[in-house]
Amino acid sequence: MQAVVIGAGIVGLTTGLALRRAGVEVTIYEHAPEIRAAGASLGLWANALAVFDELGIGDRIRAIGKPSAMYFHDPAGKRLDPPEFGVEDHQFVLVPRSELNDLLADAVGRENIRLGTGFAGYDEHPDHVTVRLTDGSSAAADVLIGADGTYSAVRAQLVPGSAAQEHAGHHAWRAVIPPSGIELSENRLLLGTHGTRGGYLLNYDGAVYWLVNQFNSPPLTGSRKQQALDRAAFLDKGILTDLIAATPDELILHNQIMLVPPLPRWVSERVVLAGDSAHAMSPHITAGATLGIEDAALLGRLLVPGGDVPEALAAYEASQLPRYADVARLSAAVEHAPTPEEFARTYAAFTHWMITQ
């Protein structure tokens, strides 16, 4: 069986690895000239780590990870620990995104990744799919996997009218900065006033990842640093503010949060979506990549040499569409939580569900 994967982000690379381990021949096409990872650090939850263990790279991932816990603090600084959930529901591993993608690219085999080659379109036939590429060439495969992110061109062809939409007023600012002399005794995640969330976490190498988000933000003014500082004032006037102040503006990433609308389908007979291309969601549940890694693992289990591709894709969709309806429901409960206590409780309810079901 031959597979073409579009996109060498975390989900495309993990899908490539899962398929190769299942004995499928894989070529990944990435339109960027290099393996890159937009973003700073990333929290991986137990379900993602279990997939990486299954794929034989769990130890290498943990070697670039820092075990961390997601406990929120209210605006008065009180740690919120909903009693109905255990420590395991809060635990995740923080990894630097670029190191993670490099590690995955090595595991897939760089000879199986074509950089600087974008997806232009596909033609589906009963027994194969032809993938047209931006360099004018084409590739024939048994299956095409669109792991090309929020603005997926594969999705645009598979599900017309499914363009990503702004999550109105929802913005995120983040950076990873080298040790800056600011003393951090512990990670801290805060729920502030005015729809803000944020905090800081230590990476495995001593660098610090800070993040600030705001729902229903007023229009943005000033530099990225000023925008982040303005929101941090609703969270903490101490370490978080100091970390942002110490960050050069060019290191600060800002995102208008984008969402993929719920899709009526994720597959055709020979084309399938995985990761953000299928379900880019609000990052207030910090689990988009973790859930995309589940997609990759499932495709690796279902697409096997000699197997029936349309049947495998139908089974994938039958599993994932209802799962994402549950994700959407649980995520909305967190987003609309009226108090910090309720935010912390619904958040733990989501992670408990994600790592146990």
Catalog residues that contact ligand FAD under the rule CB under 6 A. 6-12, 29-32, 39, 42-43, 118-119, 147-149, 153, 172, 174, 255, 275-276, 283, 286-290, 292
Least distance between ligand FAD and beta carbon 10 (Å): 4
Q: Give the count of beta carbons closer than 10 Å to the beta carbon of residue 264.
A: 8
Decide whether 163 or 307 has the Cβ nearer to ligand FAD: 163
The CA distance from 205 to 332, in Å, is: 34
Contacts of 127 (CB under 8 A, 6+ apart): none
For ligand FAD, the closer of residues 138 and 255 by Cβ is 255
Q: Which is nearer to ligand FAD, 296 or 309 (CB)?
A: 296
Q: Please, which residue, 65 or 292, has the CB nearer to ligand FAD? A: 292
Query: What is the nearest approach in angstroms of ligand FAD to the Cβ of residue 14?
Result: 8
Residue nearest to ligand FAD (CB): 9
CB of residue 148 to ligand FAD, shortest distance in Å: 4
CB of 357 to ligand FAD, least distance (A): 17
Tokens of 215: 């729902």
Nearer to ligand FAD, 6 or 158 (CB): 6
Q: Find tokens 């309806």 and name the residue.
A: 325
Least separation in angstroms between residue 30's CB and ligand FAD is 5
- Residue (73 or 155) nearer to ligand FAD, CB: 155
Strands ordered across the beta sheet of 129-133: 119-124, 129-133, 138-141
Least distance from ligand FAD to the Cβ atom of residue 145, Å: 11
CB 39 within 8 A of CB 61: no
